[in-house]
């Protein structure tokens, strides 16, 4: 029997998630909440040796991001310390390298893809959502963090189930609908420029909901909810099961508002007028089509 079949058999015989939130369907992608899960350090896919193979696997090695050094909560992603070591060296010295390693799209490895598919099947069943109709992409990502390391404040484009596999850390999650915490300008910049570095305001830290993640526990992070993390005293390994929505409308409205604001205007927020939102979507669509045609007509040199 192949290793893939062994993993598939193991994951299919047991439930991955254990949700005790009675409002799961109502809170899904609206509010953060804790849950339990069965993916812990004794799972064969999360041994140190198995994860290290992802660094050299042709299917996954190009999806690795990492940085190391002292990081502040309010630090921008483009201002992290310069990397001086290879990811293999950083991985092998996690105890004292101050590192954060993101193994993205590990589902390109067939064994991890089984875990992703099984997990999303459970989410689909429990949420009652037509996830396959809603999603544009789906991913399983692994985050490996050195003791004491901070992951800076940011927002993501995903509906996320973050599962703690080993170690302990705290995650501070804010409400995406709080416009003092997350101004329209931050959302416009994110959806236009892919600027993940939302503005952290320490005076509003008390508005965060803080979850302590330990092996076997996890937290649901809705789309665009700002958050930051502080690792505990041991190496932390977390698994993110997530997907991106198709949701072109949201992106187009925020892009339109970004450029309107640059012109000195004060655009209406997304959702304040169905008619105005549709006009913005149409305008961005026309602009995109014109730009595409101009690129096609440009002489090749």
**Cβ–Cβ < 8 Å for 135, 104:** no
pLDDT at residue number 182: 97
List per-block mean pLDDT (blocks of 10 residues) for the chain, which spans 301 residues. 43 77 92 96 96 97 94 89 92 95 98 96 86 86 97 94 98 97 95 87 98 98 97 98 90 95 95 94 85 68 57
Q: Give the three-class secondary structure for 94.
A: coil
CA atoms of 179 and 181, how far apart (whole Å): 5
pLDDT given for residue 82 in this prediction: 87
Q: What are phi and psi of 238, to 5 degrees?
A: -130, 150
| Residue 162: φ, ψ to 5° | -95, 120
| Residue 2: predicted pLDDT | 40
Q: What is the pLDDT of residue 299?
A: 67
- What pLDDT does 301 receive? 57
Determine contact, residues 103/64, Cβ cutoff 8 Å: yes
> What pLDDT does 300 receive?
64
Whether CATH 2.60.120.650 fits 3-246: yes
DSSP label of 204: G
Q: What is the pLDDT of residue 184?
A: 96
């Amino acid at each position: 029997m192949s290793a893939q079949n062994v993993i598939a058999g193991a994951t299919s015989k047991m439930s991955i998630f254990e949700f005790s939130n009675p409002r799961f369907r109502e809170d899904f992608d609206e509010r953060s909440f804790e849950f339990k899960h069965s993916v812990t350090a004794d799972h064969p896919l999360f041994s140190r040796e198995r994860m290290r193979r992802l660094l050299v696997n042709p299917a996954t090695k190009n999806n690795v991001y990492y940085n190391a050094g002292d990081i502040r909560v309010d630090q921008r992603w483009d201002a992290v310390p310069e990397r001086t070591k290879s990811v293999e060296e950083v991985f092998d010295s996690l105890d004292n390298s101050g590192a954060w390693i993101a193994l993205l799209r590990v589902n390109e490895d067939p064994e991890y893809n089984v875990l992703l598919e099984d997990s999303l099947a459970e989410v689909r069943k429990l949420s009652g959502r037509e996830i396959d109709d809603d999603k544009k992409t789906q991913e399983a990502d692994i985050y490996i963090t050195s003791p004491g390391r901070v992951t800076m404040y940011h927002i993501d484009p995903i509906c996320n189930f973050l599962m703690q596999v080993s170690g302990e850390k705290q995650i501070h999650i804010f409400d995406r609908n709080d416009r003092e915490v997350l101004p329209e300008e931050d959302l416009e910049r994110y959806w236009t420029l892919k600027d993940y570095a939302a503005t952290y305001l320490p005076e509003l830290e008390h508005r965060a909901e803080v979850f302590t993640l330990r092996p076997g526990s996890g937290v649901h992070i809705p789309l665009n909810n700002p958050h930051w993390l502080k690792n505990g005293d041991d190496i932390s390994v977390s698994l993110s099961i997530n997907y991106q929505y198709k949701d072109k409308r949201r992106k187009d409205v925020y892009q339109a508002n970004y450029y309107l604001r640059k012109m000195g205007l004060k655009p209406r927020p997304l959702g304040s007028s169905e008619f105005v939102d549709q006009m913005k979507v149409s305008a961005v669509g026309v602009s995109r089509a014109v730009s595409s045609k101009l690129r096609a007509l440009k002489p090749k040199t």
